[in-house]
Amino acid sequence: MVNLDAEKLVAARRAVEFVEDGQVVGLGTGSTAAHAIREIGRRVREGLQIVAIPTSLATEALARSLGIPLTNFDEHQKIDIAIDGADEIDSNLVAIKGGGGAFLREKIVAQAATRMICIIDSSKLVPQIGAAKLPIEVLPFAAGFVQAAVAAMGAQVSLRRKADGSLFATDQGNAVLDARFGLLSNPEALARKLTSIPGLLAHGLFLSEIDELITGRGDQAECLRRSA
């Protein structure tokens, strides 16, 4: 039986090897990113000099607890290296992210990063994305309107709720819709249509933001670069 958490750790450790003194580092959200953040924390305690921009309040709290110096986009508008997980990704490095609900900030950090490394366990590398639900962040005022518009595009859409049944809210206080379109033959066209819906603030499709993929497979880290 594959130990997916061990594979996440393998991928995270390899990615953190690329972090260097003096860099601004983007910190992702989720269990795989948390492995990387703990590894960065270990290196900071050993003397690594970096500042980091977290993609969520949870990541900010973890980074603070590990003594990682934090910064923000008022201080630094460019990120040298960002490390984050994904829910599904294909070999063209097109991904679905946002299982943890942090995808709006994750997309900003990914786009600001010169080098965006996605780290995953081997179960997340798929021939075609779309089995995972596609998260969509919406202005609460527009949630019903956006849900109807996305459903009219052929998806099964639900408003994300927490385990206790209350509505999930992002760190920005917005709602999240989870959409199931099935396997995506044209993610670019879907992204364009989604972006045109007013009230829709972000979707979890990452088309071009990811530069490199590191997959933990057993105890090996497999690296894949976006082709030019």
Task: Write down the least CB distance from residue 152 to ligand 5RP, Å.
Answer: 26
Asked about 188 being catalytic, the answer comes back as no
In whole angstroms, give the CA distance from residue 109 to residue 103: 10
Convert 86-111 to b/e letters by CB count within 10 Å (16 or more is b): bbbbbeebbbbbbbbbbbbbbbbbbe
Candidates 39, 60, 88, 106; catalytic one: 106
Residue 61 DSSP symbol: H
The residue (of 45 and 79) whose beta carbon lies closer to ligand 5RP is 79
Q: Which residue has the tokens 């993610």?
A: 187
Which positions touch ligand 5RP (CB under 6 A)?
A: 28-33, 84-87, 97-103, 106
Least distance to ligand 5RP, CB of residue 27, Å: 11
Q: How far is the CB of 217 from ligand 5RP (least distance, A)?
A: 16
Please name every residue paired with 24 in a beta bridge, in sequence order, or none if there are none: 51
- Whole-number Å distance between alpha carbons of 106 and 220: 26
Of 154 and 218, which has the nearer Cβ to ligand 5RP? 218
Neighbours of 25 (CB within 10 A): 28
Q: Which is nearer to ligand 5RP, 145 or 217 (CB)?
A: 217
Helix (H) or strand (E) holding 118: strand 113-121
Helices (H), the chain: 4-16, 31-45, 57-65, 103-112, 143-152, 187-195
Nearest approach, Cβ of 210 to ligand 5RP (angstroms)? 11
Residue 13 or 97: the one with the smaller Cβ distance to ligand 5RP is 97
List the catalytic residues.
Answer: 106
